[in-house]
Structure 1
Amino acid sequence: MRRLALMLLASGFVAGIFSAGSTTVAAEPDAAARAAVKLTAATWEDVQKIVAGARGKVVVLDVWSTACQPCMEEFPHLIKLQRNQPETVCISISVDYAGIRSKPPEYYRERVEIFLAEQKAEAVKNYLCSQPADELFEKIELDSIPAVYVYGRDGKLAQRFDNRTPAKPGSEGISYETQVVPLVEKLVKQR
């Protein structure tokens, strides 16, 4: 699992190199935009209690990190899903915390909040995982992120999308458009 954390850090580093060479630089969101996004520290168990508390609604839980370029590319689809399906509960949990003692979960708060503000993620319930990513991945048997968990109205996991459920044969990763959204739409219609 340490290898996974290093791969995530490396992908964030590579993404930073490519974006640094860009001629356009996105302005950092202002204080009001950042304040509009609520980010709460939580464990996986805390988030699972929130999922259980939303029984009767379809829940979409996105596991992501600012060090994961594919995560950040798919994240706007979570926001769009929340807008288009207001009867769903969309939750994001950032797994930026790597378990480094000198960099506790709060160390990552600013960069996570900036990303969430840029995405206008105030309609989504946003959490900063307080467990080290490697420990969490091992516990929930997750190989890599992004990962999306979709729960039905009964509160039970309907489908987990991750690198084991690629968007199309031979591809890697997940797709909100071809996988997550169609499932959510189907579950929302079921009463």
Structure 2
Amino acid sequence: MKPTKVSRLLPLAACLAWNVHAIAGPAPVPTLAVIQGQAPEKAKKVTLYAVEEGRKSEIANAMVDEQHAFAFAIPSPKEGFYYLSVGTRGDTRIYLKPGDQLKLKLEYDAYTLQAGSAENKQLWQWQEQLGTISRYTSLGDTATYMTFFPRLEALAPRVSGLKKAVNTPNKKFNELLKYTMDVDMEHIAMSFLLMPHSKHPEKGQYPAFYRQIIQNNKYCDGKLLANGDAGSIVRLYETFTYIMSTEKRAAPASLAENVQLFCNDTIKGLFITESLGGFRTFDKLTEAVTPVKQYLVTADQQQRYLAAEKALRKFAAGEPGFNFNGEDTNGKKVAFNDLKGKVIVVDVWATWCGPCKAELPHLQKLEEELHDKNVTFVGYSVDEAKDKEKWSAFVKEKDMKGVQLFGAGWGEVTKFYDIKGIPRFMVFDQQGKIVTIDAPRPSTPELKALIEKLLGKG
């Protein structure tokens, strides 16, 4: 869900009037969810976040009025956890589904639920219990383990009973909250150990609760992705396992080793993308990610990786070409790196593209003139997956030579090289390094001259 901020936010007066209409006027739109309440005295705005693949995604802001009131109206919200933030300390977690009405009083480190759904009443009760230990994980807290550990040990054995008390009519929510209660406990316990304190315990002083956190194949359940803190949780867990380990490592664990901590592929992908910021060079990034790239299973994860690659390299001449993949006319996967050893000319095109087809005769003439030279021509089609047969038939009909690859839409090549229009021609040298990612077209003499210059250097 990626709504625009404007479309998700209705005027404050309209939101506050919603309850009046619900009583005295026509029935409101049943899919509209309304959140309203009081913000802390010095707060200027309240930000609303949805959860997308284990991360918080901002969807709207509400300015706080002179009475410290705020409100949101969300048309047809996707059911699940949302978060409210006033910009400091932790965020307030709520649960939304179409038709919900919530009224809250926000504080900087807590909140009071004044009115709301059965799900939010149950969630608030849990977060009140959780508050007995969560307040010790803020940067401003000066408590030590001598204060925190006894409270952790007091709450931990009570969680089983608290989960049994979760009994709203919403079975989906019940299962999510029960799962989240365990995740919350572990998250807070691990977070405390990594916070700066004036006194730190020895491992022998850790409560027994810490030993049960580490498990083989952690976070198998995809419900973790409904948690807006899932990204930080998986990174935290990797650090925690290192702290708890009795083995001495000659070097930090590789990304390939660390992803094996988790058994859910999407969560492995989440961990990988959360780790991308730790790489400072393009070579180190690709070396680490290549063995685990298959775990980047969602479009968002793949895009985050491409963005990380782009941030660590420039598209200047001499930079390594992106190792994209495509499927040839026989259904075989072909990677860019497989083509090294020759000058590589890539034509990004589509069967529906008039200018692309206009270049085809010129391209075929160029291929014929250079057919005995050390050059490979690659056609990379951005036709949609549904048009694969159309692409295949076109390639055969036009007797297109070289390496013809099907990219199934505007995929990794166009995203990586930020290609907005086609045809686009790109040239790479024999080592697979960039010569230009915006080459002249075959209908001009400049492309042939560029290729011949490279062949002369080889």
Pair in the same fold by TM > 0.5: yes
1:178 to 431, 445, 451: 445
Instruction: Give the distance between the partners of 2:330 and 2:348, measured in 1 at CA.
Output: 14
For residue 39 of structure 1, what is the amino acid of its counterpart? T
Question: What's the CA shift string for 1:139-187, capped at 9, x where partnerless?
Answer: 321121100111111210111226xxxx6xxxxxx44433322111111
Which structure has the larger Rg over C-alpha atoms?
Answer: 2
Please state whether the residue corresponding to 1:133 is helix, strand or coil: coil
Alignment partner, residue 59 of structure 1:
344
Deviation at 1:190, TM superposition (A): 1.3
Give unmatched runs, 5+ long, in structure 1. 1-37, 98-104, 168-173
Instruction: Give the distance between the partners of 1:149 and 1:159, measured in 2 at CA.
Output: 6
Alignment partner, residue 145 of structure 1:
422
Instruction: Give the distance between the partners of 1:186 and 1:137, measured in 2 at CA.
Output: 27
Quick one: structure 1 residues 88 and 68, their matched pair in 2 at CA, closer, same or farther if it must change by over 3 Å?
same
Deviation at 1:84, TM superposition (A): 1.7
Give the alignment of 1:1-191 within 5 angstroms: 39=329, 49=335, 51-86=336-371, 87-97=374-384, 105=385, 107-121=386-400, 123-130=401-408, 132-133=409-410, 136-161=413-438, 174-191=441-458
Deviation at 1:90, TM superposition (A): 0.8
Contact 1:40 1:127 in 2 (8 A): no
Instruction: Give the distance between the partners of 1:118 and 1:58, measured in 2 at CA.
Output: 26
Instruction: Give the distance between the partners of 1:155 and 1:136, measured in 2 at CA.
Output: 15
Quick one: structure 1 residues 140 and 69, their matched pair in 2 at CA, closer, same or farther if it must change by over 3 Å?
same
Contact 2:414 2:420 in 1 (8 A): yes
> What percentage of aligned pairs have identical amino acids?
26
Contact 1:62 1:91 in 2 (8 A): yes
Deviation at 1:129, TM superposition (A): 0.6
Quick one: structure 1 residues 82 and 140, their matched pair in 2 at CA, closer, same or farther if it must change by over 3 Å?
same
Please state whether the residue corresponding to 2:444 is helix, strand or coil: helix
Instruction: Give the distance between the partners of 2:415 and 2:348, measured in 1 at CA.
Output: 14
CA-based RMSD: 2.4
Alignment partner, residue 16 of structure 1:
none
Alignment partner, residue 65 of structure 2:
none
Please state whether the residue corresponding to 1:137 is helix, strand or coil: helix
Please state whether the residue corresponding to 1:81 is helix, strand or coil: helix
Deviation at 1:135, TM superposition (A): 6.6
Contact 2:366 2:442 in 1 (8 A): no
Deviation at 1:109, TM superposition (A): 2.1
Instruction: Give the distance between the partners of 1:135 and 1:156, measured in 2 at CA.
Output: 18
Instruction: Give the distance between the partners of 1:129 and 1:177, measured in 2 at CA.
Output: 26
For residue 423 of structure 2, what is the amino acid of its counterpart? P
For residue 449 of structure 2, what is the amino acid of its counterpart? P
How many residues end up aligned between the 2 structures?
A: 129
Q: List 4+ stretches of structure 1 deviating above 6 A.
A: none
Contact 2:382 2:411 in 1 (8 A): no
Instruction: Give the distance between the partners of 2:368 and 2:349, measured in 1 at CA.
Output: 19
Contact 1:78 1:90 in 2 (8 A): no
Give unmatched runs, 5+ long, in structure 2. 1-327
For residue 161 of structure 1, what is the amino acid of its counterpart? D
For residue 63 of structure 1, what is the amino acid of its counterpart? V
Deviation at 1:119, TM superposition (A): 2.0
Instruction: Give the distance between the partners of 2:402 and 2:442, measured in 1 at CA.
Output: 19
Instruction: Give the distance between the partners of 1:147 and 1:154, measured in 2 at CA.
Output: 21
Question: What's the CA shift string for 1:68-88, capped at 9, x where partnerless?
Answer: 100011123332222221221
Instruction: Give the distance between the partners of 2:339 and 2:419, measured in 1 at CA.
Output: 23
TM-score calculated relative to the size of structure 1: 0.58
